[in-house]
A and B are shown apart, each in its own frame.
Chain A
Amino acid sequence: LAKTTQPISMDSYEGQEVNITCSHNNIATNDYITWYQQFPSQGPRFIIQGYKTKVTNEVASLFIPADRKSSTLSLPRVSLSDTAVYYCLVGGGGGFKTIFGAGTRLFVKA
């Protein structure tokens, strides 16, 4: 299973763009990159998934360079409600093909 490395925590201010980078040097050919968001006392919630290049949805963008050894989750114009823990997974969307690491705690300030 591919291991991921993320910053432990990040701070931002409302209205700013936040980029969280995840390193996954031993990503396998069949592995996808998936990001989840978790608020206190709730289960994680799927944000975005990608395999290569760029993926964008209504919530975030995911940038994956050609070598796929890292990825960057981009949250445009964050608000206080984006304060949460963000997990980067490599492999499948969860389950036995992936490992949830400790995640990145994002604090958004007013």
Chain B
Amino acid sequence: DAGITQSPRHKVTETGTPVTLRCHQTENHRYMYWYRQDPGHGLRLIHYSYGVKDTDKGEVSDGYSVSRSKTEDFLLTLESATSSQTSVYFCAISVGLAGEYNEQFFGPGTRLTVL
């Protein structure tokens, strides 16, 4: 599993509240990603990072922000959660020198419910 942990694993929150999800890796890989997965859909990229303080938007970035102040941690923040952000969130890393062309390893996921 390439030493990837996500916290919390489950969270229920109310509309309008801020939420931060944490992804932690133990092997100092450069590339990290946040995805969301909804029923009947594949994974959709929210944001990604290619180094400390280097982040960029993915396919579905509206309503989300990220931060990476240390190599090992990649934080995903919902500034004001909405019911449409109810989803399962996966963190991933790329392993290898080819960055985006390398295989990804995924964390266990965080199930977020926004009431």
Q: Is B59 an interface residue (CB 8 A)?
A: yes
Chain A residue at minimum C-beta to C-beta distance from B1:
A43
Determine which residue in A95, A101, A103 has the highest number of CB atoms from chain B within 10 A of its CB, and name it: A95
Q: Which residues of B contact A100 (CB under 8 A)?
A: 35, 42-44
Chain B residues contacting A96 (CB-CB under 8 Å) are 45, 48, 56, 58, 100
19 inter-chain pairs at a CB distance below 8 angstroms, sorted by A residue, are A32-B101, A36-B104, A41-B109, A42-B109, A45-B106, A46-B105, A87-B42, A93-B94, A93-B103, A93-B104, A94-B33, A95-B33, A95-B48, A95-B99, A96-B58, A97-B100, A98-B100, A99-B42, A100-B44
A100 CB, nearest partner CB in chain B, Å: 3
Count chain B residues whose beta carbon lies closer than 8 angstroms to a beta carbon of A: 27
| C-alpha spacing A94/B58, complex, angstroms | 11
A66-106 interface mask toward B, CB cutoff 8 Å, 1 = contact, 0 = none?
A: 00000000000000000000010001111111111111000
Instruction: Give B contacts to A, CB under 8 Å.
Output: 31, 33, 35, 40-45, 48, 56, 58-59, 90, 92, 94, 99-109
Residues of B within 8 A of A99 (CB): 42, 59
B33 CB → nearest A CB, Å: 6
Check A49–B103 contact: CB distance below 8 A. Answer: yes
Q: Which residues of chain B are within 8 angstroms of A32 by Cβ–Cβ distance?
A: 101
Identify the closest chain A residue to B106 (Cβ): A43
Q: Are B42 and A103 in contact (CB under 8 A)?
A: yes
User: Which of A42, A46, A95 makes the CB contact (< 8 A) with B100?
Assistant: A95
B103–A34 CB distance below 8 A: yes
Interface hub of A34, A43, A98, A103 (most chain B Cβ within 10 A): A43
Q: How far is the CA of A41 from the CA of B101 in the complex (A)?
A: 25
- Nearest-CB residue, chain B, relative to A36: B104
Q: How far is the CA of A42 from the CA of B108 in the complex (A)?
A: 6
- For residue A87, which residues in chain B have a CB less than 8 angstroms away from its CB? 42-43
Which residue in chain A gives the minimum CB-CB distance to B33? A95
Q: Are A43 and B108 in contact (CB under 8 A)?
A: yes
* Closest CB in chain B relative to A73 CB, distance in Å: 15
